[in-house]
Amino acid sequence: MSLLLKGGRVIDPWNGVDAVQDVLVTDGKIAKVGAGLKAPDGAAVVDAAGKVVCPGFIDIHVHLREPGFEYKETIASGTRAAAAGGFTAVAAMANTFPVNDNRAVTDYILAKARVEGCVRVYPIGAVTRGLKGEELAEMGEQAEAGCVAFSDDGKCVMNAEVYRRAMEYALPFGVPIISHAEDCHLAHKGVMNEGLVSTELGLAGQPAAAEDVMVARDILLAELTGAHLHIAHISTAGAVRMVREARARGVRVTAEVTPHHLVMTDEAVRDYDPNTKMAPPLRGKRDVEACLEALGDGTIDCVATDHAPHALSDKEGEFAEAANGVVGLETAVPVLLDRLVRQGRLDLPVLVARFTSGPARLLNLPGGRLSLGSPADITVLDLERAWTVEPRHLLSRSKNTPFAGWSGTGAPVLALVGGRPALPSYPLTVPGGGA
């Protein structure tokens, strides 16, 4: 079975390709990339002229909520949302119920994903049992079962000694420790960024320093242990500066940033809309600019959505009481194509790299490239496609998006996983259903 994507602008940062070319897929793998390729007999041909053909986009920070919180999201609904948003692979955080801190849960997630998932799912294991920040989880067995990283995301491991041991213990498995950097004492009861807006709204703020002190600590621990430290959802100018300095010094530290921290500030909280509440909180203009600059210069390796579905009952009502987090899988690519690329603030190939080669390298994943023989995970973008975010149309089981009502131009129109469309209906269709 073969599939030829014809005449698209191929952007494959891993291989340094940015040219109008054809991509031939055979038996679910990349068979050839080049100009003027002939379609083999019986091959499906997709006219990609005027479109952008990229390696499949990868989101390394997603909460699929299964097992335990199926009323918010399931592996089925979460991967459908991912596929609709142009992603072909996601990494699933460990704060499920039960917590993914042992092999049985990892196996369950992978088995469910094989049967019900429509994109690739890579589990992330917990650093500590029950996310309690006390005893190490069984990382060895979980890595063997398929966990690609370890994180207590949602909570910060406050005990530096425990975190040091976790970093050391993870060394043989060659996977990163992902830090949710938030000093819970300094953040205290803060429900948004501390600054003029929090003062005017009368909401308790948490200072940027609550993130910065923990990023500083974790960089020092990475330096001490030689571990690969990955900073989740970086959001402050101070944290960005420290990561940049640490990398220059040779410390193995990587970082991700969310779409909302790239295009929104704490000004968005003024209506007390709980869909603008997340951890870390929306920051100031200077922080947003620092994150964007770092995304451009490679200090930040990838964009990750921190897709955090919550049911209406967790999110409506009083801002201070509402759950933290927003959905992001279906809005990330359109929002950034419009607000960053179309507005000239970031080059398209750089954004593609931060969705493909960046995350793939970081987690040692097989995708993120259009190399011969690699899995035919492919994302196709239409830079002229207009969109408006309507929460009720999202495929995610939860609708807690901060982008409701936003509109723009540029969106994914097809995602192939192993050469087949991840969803049955895409704006760009594949005759015969794929290779």
Partner 1 sequence: MTWKRKDLLSMQDLEAGEIRDVLDTAESMKEIATREIKKVPTLRGKTVVNLFYEASTRTRTSFEIAGKWLSADVINFSASGSSAEKGESLLDTAKNIEAMSPDVVVVRHKAAGAPAMLARNLRCAVVNAGDGAHEHPTQALLDLLTIREKKGHLEGLNVTIVGDVAHSRVARSDIHGMRKMGMTVTVAGPPTLIPAACQELGVKVSYRLEEAIAHADVIMMLRLQHERMTAGFIPSLREYSRVWGLSLDRLKHCRSDVLIMHPGPVNRGVELSPEVADGPYSVILDQVTNGVAVRMAVLYLLAGSKGA
Binding-site ranges for partner 1 (CB under 8 A)? 194-196, 198-205, 207, 271-272, 313, 316-321
**Least distance to partner 1, CB of residue 196, Å:** 4
Left, alpha or beta for 27 (phi > 0: left; psi -120 to 50: alpha)? Answer: left
Cβ proximity of 3 and 434 under 8 Å = yes
Q: Using CA atoms, how far apart are residues 331 and 232, in angstroms rounded to an integer?
A: 19
Longest dimension (CA), the chain: 68
The smaller minimum CB distance to partner 1, of residues 297 and 321, is found at 321
**Least distance to partner 1, CB of residue 161, Å:** 25
Q: C-alpha 268: how far from its chain's center?
A: 22
The smaller minimum CB distance to partner 1, of residues 203 and 253, is found at 203
Q: Give the tokens for residue 67.
A: 């097992």
The smaller minimum CB distance to partner 1, of residues 220 and 323, is found at 323
**Least distance to partner 1, CB of residue 84, Å:** 30
- Strand pairing partners for 375? 29
CA distances, 15 to each of 77, 237, 275, 401 (Å): 33, 31, 38, 34
The smaller minimum CB distance to partner 1, of residues 197 and 389, is found at 197
The smaller minimum CB distance to partner 1, of residues 20 and 320, is found at 320
**271 flagged as catalytic:** no
- Which residues, in sequence order, are CB contacts of 232 under 8 Å at separation 6+? 61, 151, 153, 178, 179, 180, 181, 256, 304, 306
Q: Using CA atoms, how far apart are residues 244 and 96, in angstroms rounded to an integer?
A: 32
Neighbours of 177 (CB within 10 A): 26
Q: Select which of 152, 301, 306, 382 is catalytic.
A: 306
The smaller minimum CB distance to partner 1, of residues 208 and 365, is found at 208
- The helix, strand and coil proportions of the chain, stated in percent and rounded to the nearest 5, come to 35, 25, 40
**Least distance to partner 1, CB of residue 313, Å:** 8
Q: Give the tokens for residue 424.
A: 């049955």
Residue 249: exposed, middle, or buried by beta-carbon count in 10 A (0-12, 13-18, 19+)?
exposed
- Which residues, in sequence order, are CB contacts of 139 under 8 Å at separation 6+? 125, 127, 147, 150, 166, 169, 170, 173
**Least distance to partner 1, CB of residue 308, Å:** 20
The smaller minimum CB distance to partner 1, of residues 287 and 338, is found at 287
Please provide residue 82's backbone torsions phi and psi, each rounded to the nearest 5 degrees: -60, -45
- Decide: helix, strand or coil at residue 188: coil
**Least distance to partner 1, CB of residue 153, Å:** 25
**Least distance to partner 1, CB of residue 184, Å:** 15
Active site residues: 306
